[in-house]
């Protein structure tokens, strides 16, 4: 059963990719979204991207918090009523402390998460 998915989509004409992370309701709060987002950051870096960005509903406070903890900048777009999140590989990277915290938290997962 598929319970979570993450994706990077390269944007035309830019060295940036859009990200999306989906976690089934029953599995939210277990750290899967954080793990997927960290993996997407690693893949984007390995692909030589300048950054990744995504759009999150303002009610999804958990995802906003996770992304900010990993170094994303969040900007609220009042007109569209969404939070735009930006991660620049040149400006920021997940701190080793944040990465260590997530690695410790996610060791309980025995199945690999393939992206």
Q: What is the pLDDT of residues 41-51, one digit of tens each?
A: 989 999 999 99
Rounded Cα distance between 33 and 113, Å, is 11
Rounded Cα distance between 93 and 107, Å, is 21
What is the reported pLDDT for 20?
94
In whole numbers, what is the pLDDT of the chain averaged over residues? 84
What is the reported pLDDT for 90?
83
Of 59, 63, 55, nearest to 18 by C-alpha is 55
Going by their DSSP bridges, the two strands 16-23 and 51-56 should be labelled as parallel
* Residues 73-94, mean pLDDT to the nearest whole number: 88
b/e burial code for range 54-63 (CB count within 10 A of at least 16 → b): bebeeebeeb
Rounded Cα distance between 85 and 18, Å, is 10
What pTM was computed for the model?
0.77
Q: What is the pLDDT of residues 56-68, one digit of tens each?
A: 999 999 999 999 9
Contact 104, 98 (CB under 8 A): no
Q: What is the pLDDT of residues 92-110, one digit of tens each?
A: 545 555 555 545 444 444 3
What is the reported pLDDT for 114?
52
Residue 58's Cβ-side half-sphere holds a number of Cα atoms within 13 Å equal to: 8
């Amino acid at each position: 059963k598929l319970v979570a998915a993450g994706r990077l989509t390269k944007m035309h004409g830019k060295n940036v990719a859009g990200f999306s992370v989906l976690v089934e309701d029953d599995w939210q709060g277990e750290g899967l979204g954080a793990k997927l987002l960290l993996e997407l950051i690693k893949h984007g870096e390995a692909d030589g991207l300048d950054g990744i960005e995504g759009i999150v509903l303002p009610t999804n406070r958990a995802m906003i918090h996770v992304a900010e903890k990993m170094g994303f900048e969040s900007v609220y777009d009042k007109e569209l009523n969404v939070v735009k999140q930006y991660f620049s590989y040149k400006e920021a990277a997940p701190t080793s402390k944040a990465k260590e915290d997530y690695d410790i938290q996610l060791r309980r997962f025995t199945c690999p998460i393939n992206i």
